[in-house]
Amino acid sequence: MIKTNPMKAALAAGRVQIGTWINLVRNPAVLTLLRAAGLDYARIDMEHSSPSIETVADMAALARALGFPIVVRPPAGSREWITRLLDAGVWGLHIPQVDTPDIAREVVQAARYAPAGMRGMAGLGPHNDFAPSGDPAADMAYLNDQVHVTVMLESAEAFRHLDVIAGVPGVDALTLGPSDLAQDLGVLGTADQARVLDEHRERLLAAAAKHGKDVAMLVQTLEEAERWIAAGAKIIAYSSDAAVLRSGYAAAVRRLRPPR
């Protein structure tokens, strides 16, 4: 029997999903740890981090067995990356640099089977838990329902097309890339950065609400998380494995080795 994506079901029921970025740890057992900590999902970065497709495939297999979904950001939103990740059993995609409606439509075409798209056809594999039903049409429709696609708006160009991108069928959620967007807008590292990014987050929330889409939000503090959950964000990525490890050990060292 083909497994159900717990994140897709939870979001459909209106439940906020709390996860974190995996930028450093490549042992799939980290998913067991994060699940035991109470998180709902993990987001694996292949754009700015080092995991291979083999590592991600191992994580996807464990994620499906645990019922603890992973979301993967590929290096690019190309058909090649989308096909390989989905066929490896990944349920969720976090697609970078979606600057235009055409790019958003191409992502959907690669991620969904007909009639919603034209995803490449694979046979027996992790994507269908090696348990197809024998009814290809029913399986295609079911697998389309399990895939979750988030698109990242990371430029002024993307926000000029915000309303149309938000309305593209097959896109489940919107988010922004704060650092890339700030760089493109010319406010990275300035006093205006926080204000400008918050204005774009508010625009994102409004467009998502208009088109019935969810919003994913990266936060570094619990206060930020509470603020954006209250504003309507349903997918929260709290910090990362690297940042949590660094801050935790740094706090311990500060206490154990006070200034002389």
Catalytically active residues, by annotation: 48
What does DSSP say about strands 70-73 and 92-95: parallel, antiparallel, or unpaired?
Answer: parallel
Chain CA centroid to CA 5, Å: 13
* SS3 state at 54: helix
Residue 18 token pair: 């709390």
Instruction: Return d(Cα 218, Cα 225) in angstroms, integer.
Output: 8
To which residue do tokens 């309303």 refer?
A: 163
Question: CB of 86 within 8 A of CB of 125?
Answer: no
Instruction: Return d(Cα 252, Cα 260) in angstroms, integer.
Output: 16
Strand boundaries in 128-247, DSSP class E: 148-153, 173-176, 214-219, 235-240
Query: What are the angstrom distances between the C-alpha of 124 and each of 100, 130, 256?
Result: 34, 5, 54
Question: CB of 139 within 8 A of CB of 147?
Answer: no
Question: CB of 96 within 8 A of CB of 76?
Answer: yes
Contact residues for 164 (Cβ-Cβ < 8 A; gap 6+): 101
Q: Checking phi first, is residue 33 left (phi over 0); if not, alpha (psi -120 to 50) or beta?
A: alpha
